[in-house]
Amino acid sequence: MTSAKGLNIEIKIQDRVLMLTLGGRIDTDSAPAAQQQIAEALEECDRVVIDCRDLEYISSSGLRVILYLRKRIKDVEMINVSSAIFEILQTTGFTEMIEVRRPLRHISTEGCEVIGEGAMGIVYRIDRETIVKEFKDPDALRDIENEQALARKAFILGVPTAIPYDIVITDHGLYGSVFELLEASSFQKLILGQKKTISEIAQMSADLLHVIHGIELKEGDLPSCRSQALDLLASGKELFTEEEYGRLKELYEGIPECFRMIHGDFHIKNVMVRGEEPLLIDMEFLSAGDPVFEFSGLYVAYHCFAELFPGNSEEFLKLPDAETDRLFMETFDDYLKGYDKDRDQLLRQVKLMAWMRFVLYVHSGKYFKDTETGWIKEQALTRIRELLPQVNELAMNMEA
């Protein structure tokens, strides 16, 4: 922490993000020295986050420092901005140029019931009407905002979903997304509480997936599953031989553009039930595409982890591996009822897509971030190489 004539400045750099903490006053007296200190740090950064929690005043000279930052670095964000300073920024047009955030509300999760936990976060029931999903990543704010925007869009388009209405800071210093969810239980809790059988939840899952996939979308309403998959494939090109990569790219490019809504992370912990109404949560992967993308994600959750790590389903879903396998197969078969399709061929397509998603997420660091992953990728690649000669296309091509 350094001082410059009434202004306290703390400068930290992490992963090419410049974190500035300002306290006191930034005005004619302090602005020149502040700009000089900040300029020296900018060479190493692609993004600037300015924490204004203790900033009492900003003059036109201080605004010019912010403008200087904005000209040097396009991605500038001001957080914990007081109402008085927000008003100045809004009046002068700075809120149109950069992202400006007021302080977030703080809540405590101490003593609260944990109603779900996944790779991204923990879901607590705060009271009878409210739950909060606490994200494990301390830098998840933008991801939360994106997920909330997708959830609102999904609701407007007719998806039965719990609507997030606030972003908070928990007592663990992590970001949380707040939902109103009155007396709801997850599919998982219904199974564990013996209120529903595996077969009943499989049928309810298939029915809900038909509702989601039956929603009519227009081009551009949601991100394209196919485009995302091709980008992910390109990011892991070095995992494959040239021949393998060419064949996989050809298969992905051959998936017809499809404007069915895809949840992308559908499993028993991400579906809540209020009364008899199922409600989806976790909209991070909401997109548009062929149902093969949905079922490949489901196969990853219900099978891939457990195949490589026996007992994983017991840890993640609180069900034996054999039961999650059964849950996948019954959901898959219930979904296909009434369709004249080659079930075994569709299943091979889903499995190939699932192991592709798995290995590419491992390679990107999304799975097993702090683990030696060489053997995991080799095991997944072995399964891909076994399936690849058996698959001629990657699409379920289900009629609406």
For helices 343-364 and 291-299, angle between their N-to-C axes, nearest 10 degrees? 70
- Please say if the pLDDT value at position 2 is more than 60: no
Token duo for residue 264 = 């992308």
What is the tens place of the pLDDT at every residue in 223-244? 999 999 999 999 999 999 999 9
Mean pLDDT of 129-144: 85
What is the tens place of the pLDDT at every residue in 13-58? 887 888 899 999 999 989 998 888 888 888 778 889 999 989 999 9
Mean pLDDT of 114-142: 82
Q: Are 400 and 338 in contact (CB under 8 A)?
A: no
Distances (CA, A) of 344 to 227, 266, 348: 26, 22, 6
**pTM of the full structure:** 0.74
Residue-level pLDDT at 1: 47
% of the chain with per-residue pLDDT over 90? 53
Computed from CA positions of residues 43, 48, 53, 56, in that sequence, does the dihedral angle turn out positive or negative? positive
What is the tens place of the pLDDT at every residue in 310-358? 999 998 899 999 999 999 999 999 999 989 889 999 999 999 999 999 9
Distances (CA, A) of 338 to 205, 227, 334: 16, 30, 9
Tell me which of 347 and 139 has the higher pLDDT.
347
Residue-level pLDDT at 225: 95
What is the tens place of the pLDDT at every residue in 246-287? 999 999 999 998 899 999 999 998 898 887 788 888 888 899
What is the tens place of the pLDDT at every residue in 290-312? 999 999 999 999 999 999 999 99
- Please say if the pLDDT value at position 5 is more than 70: no
What is the tens place of the pLDDT at every residue in 169-204? 999 989 998 887 767 788 998 999 999 999 999 999
Structural domains in the chain, CATH included, are 2-102 (3.30.750.24), 106-180 (3.30.200.20), 185-390 (3.90.1200.10)
Average pLDDT over the chain reads 89
Q: Are 294 and 226 in contact (CB under 8 A)?
A: no
